[in-house]
Structure 1
Amino acid sequence: MTPDSIAVLATRTLTELDHARLAKYADGLPASAIQSVLDNAELVAPSEIGADVVTMRSRVQVVEPAGERQRRTLTLSYPSDADPATGCISVLSPVGTALLGLRVGDVANWVAPDGSGGQLQIAAIAYQPEASGEHLL
């Protein structure tokens, strides 16, 4: 599977604002997984997104579905805010793109540039800007 095919396996829901902001990043990328997500996503107003959907700047708790199920917390960030050492992952990374627009309970699948793959199940959303009334962040 290519990264592009991984990105569209699950139905994605994005806010219109996230979609517009991310489209600017995707414009300069050749046939990217993020472009595939943007092209195939269901769009909703920020005020209408479900609290169980991973949006930009969401802090999510994830587990490896086949592992010991120990929870890790990741924050979905724009590239300029990414800091993997602190759990802030870029939406343009394979993991970030795989998480975007999924719901609690969904499993994110990705293929890294080196060809290795991974999976994380979304166990909970600890913080979502829209659910906190922060619709313009």
Structure 2
Amino acid sequence: MINYLQPELPPISLRMCDVDRLRNLAEAASEKYPQTCDFLAREIERAEILPDARLLTGLVAMESDVTFRDDISGQERSVTLVYPEAANVDAGKISILTPIGAALIGLSVGQTIEFQTPAGGWRSLTVLKVK
């Protein structure tokens, strides 16, 4: 159980090939999803940008299969992080334009991120496994 939510954000990394598409997506969808797109844009700006050829073992990137834990409920969930057109919650494919998707991008196994949802609540997620 979490007693405090830490305001510090963990260091994250993104593949160079994803950065421009993610920036354009955040900008294009900013009217429909303003808070999530602002969060995604801030995550992109603070990320270390990695060359596309670099091995990304354990790093959450687009199309990654991710197992994470909701640190408040203790529930574990496995999802694939996708662009909005491929999203299908029933198939476990979550969009980068969801608060969870924007929070997971760029994290590595073992990292935790705490963030405020558009509804004003707080979430804390820890990455357990990435394929």
Give TM-score, length-normalised by structure 1.
Answer: 0.77
**Conserved 8 A contact 2:87-2:93:** yes
| DSSP-derived class of the 2:106 partner | coil
In the alignment, which residue of structure 2 is the partner of 1:124? 129
1: distance between equivalents of 2:114 and 2:79? 15
Question: 1:76-125, CA deviations, whole angstroms, 9 ceiling, x for partnerless residues?
Answer: 11011111222211111111010000000011323222112212211111
In the alignment, which residue of structure 2 is the partner of 1:12? 12
1:66 Cα deviation from its structure 2 partner: 4.5
2: distance between equivalents of 1:59 and 1:26? 22
In the alignment, which residue of structure 2 is the partner of 1:43? 49
Instruction: After superposing the two structures, state which structure 1 stretch, 34-43 or 83-92, moved more.
Output: 83-92
In the alignment, which residue of structure 2 is the partner of 1:105? 110
User: Structure 2 vs 1, CA of residues 86 and 109 (structure 1 numbering), >3 Å: closer, same or farther?
Assistant: farther
Instruction: After superposing the two structures, state which structure 1 stretch, 77-86 or 28-37, moved more.
Output: 28-37
1:32 Cα deviation from its structure 2 partner: 0.7
Q: Letter of the 2:19 partner, please give it.
A: H
**Conserved 8 A contact 1:15-1:49:** no
1:67 Cα deviation from its structure 2 partner: 4.1
CA RMSD, 1 decimal: 2.0
In the alignment, which residue of structure 1 is the partner of 2:120? 115
Question: 1:49-90, CA deviations, whole angstroms, 9 ceiling, x for partnerless residues?
Answer: 43111000100111233544x532111110111112222111
In the alignment, which residue of structure 2 is the partner of 1:33? 39
| DSSP-derived class of the 2:110 partner | coil
Q: Letter of the 2:14 partner, please give it.
A: L
**Conserved 8 A contact 2:72-2:123:** no
Give TM-score, length-normalised by structure 2.
Answer: 0.80
2: distance between equivalents of 1:48 and 1:18? 13
2: distance between equivalents of 1:49 and 1:102? 14
Paired residues, number: 119
Any stretches of 5+ residues in structure 1 without a counterpart?
1-5, 128-137
